Amino acid sequence: MSIPRPLIAVLSLLALAAAAHAAPPVTMVDGVPHVMNGAAPEQGVRTLNLDEQWRIGGDDESVLLGIISRALVDSDNNVYLLDGQLSEVQVFTPKGEHLKTLGRQGEGPGEVNSPGDVVFMPDGTLGLVQIFPGKIVKLTMDGDPAGEFTPDTGGATAGGFLALVNGRSAGGNLVLSGVQIRPNDAGNGQVRNYFVRSFGVDGTQQAEYLANPVEWVFGPGFKFREIDNDFIWWRMDVGGDGRVVVNIPRYDYALSVFTPDGKLERVIEREYASWDRSETVYKRYEAIMEAQAANFPFPVEREVEKQEQDVCDLRVAKDGSIWVLPSRGMYEPEPGTFATYDVFAPDGAFREQVRVVCPGNPAADRLIFAGEGLVFQVTGFWDAVLSANAATGSDEEAEPMAVICYKVR
């Protein structure tokens, strides 16, 4: 029996559609599945338009802002903005009305110095992640001191110390990243172990997702190299089920997905060519490293990377999809686009690219996704970071920082 030609055409179209949306190939490496995505997303590109809801800072002096580096949204849609420079958290209502200020700078109960992150703790408190010495200062939601959380780093040695960078908590999993530093065995340098670990409510380590020890040997020939001081920064997040996603290699677009107990479940890869830093971006990091090098008690030669890290930001959305801001999506977005994100399905398929459209300067401003359908734009972020690190040679006064709350249209 012959098949009618119209039906043949329909079947052919269905076959083509199935081929176009076929699952990416999976390669087993040391027993771990690697999802191998090509350079193009299976569903193409879509545009995400943002509508402004409210803004603070800028020329409005009613709220003083230092450097806003993190935004959280609670179950009542109140917004928590971490000001690392002023060592406090500004809280706003969903309509942008100032509600309260939590925390302050100092060494006393409930006080903190230059926090690098803020996190909703599993015990219901608000945690301000102090960089050095590494600890979390806990506050009640009313701002009262609620004790401190000091992660057990497993046998600190004399002369060693801990610095924390990131804190993420979801699905009952509290994950911290930072660096544990101790003298090397020869006594002529340091061993710096960059880590991403999970901790219980009592501070004990539950799982380790990344351990990257680097030895610095001081003396002739020592170079202060950016590649040897490679914090994870924003290349990690925790999903609602407690799974942890980390971009570990700096120049390999690969996302490692761990179960909460530390088992490497899969690695999601995507074809990508590393982006050569523009002169502006190179000088930005050169200035930051110059400021950091001033902390050494002796002159050091610096070595700045000529390429940007492949992944500049990473977050796990409520639906389990993984949003990645690659270097090109951050520094070379399409005209009229603020940034372009790669979006991966929970199974690792490169599903789509999302072009975020809003006013602003992608080279200077920063976007922070938080809550359900909210995006916060921090204007002049990088200029403020350089100024705070005394790493700018410009005599021009930076524009006052502003935070703009957008809602996804």
> How does pLDDT run across 312-350, given as a tens digit for each residue?
999 999 999 999 999 999 999 999 999 999 999 999 999
Q: How many CA within 13 A on the CB side of residue 103?
A: 33
Q: What percent of the chain has pLDDT over 70?
A: 91
Gap between the Cα atoms of 365 and 359, Å rounded:
10
Closest CA to 402 of 385, 383, 377, 382: 377
Residue 7 above 60 pLDDT? no
Q: CB burial class (10 A; 0-12, 13-18, 19+) of residue 92?
A: buried
DSSP for residue 96 = S
Give the mean pLDDT of the chain.
92
Give residue 362's pLDDT band: very low, low, confident or very high (50, 70, 90): confident
pLDDT in tens, 187-198: 999 999 999 999
SS3 state of residue 329: helix
Between 385 and 261, the more confident residue is: 261
Confidence of residue 21 (pLDDT cuts 50, 70, 90): low
Q: Structural domains in the chain?
A: 44-408 (2.120.10.30)
DSSP labels, 141-166:
TTS-EEEEE----SSPPTT-EEEEEE
- Cα–Cα distance, 61 to 59 (Å, whole number): 6
Is the pLDDT at 104 greater than 50, yes or no?
yes
pLDDT at 363: 83
Span 373-381, average pLDDT? 96
pLDDT digits (tens, 9 = 90+) for 151-190: 987 755 456 899 999 999 999 999 999 999 999 999 999 9
pLDDT of residue 15 exceeding 50:
no
d(C-alpha 244, C-alpha 266), whole Å: 11
Model pLDDT, residue 79: 98
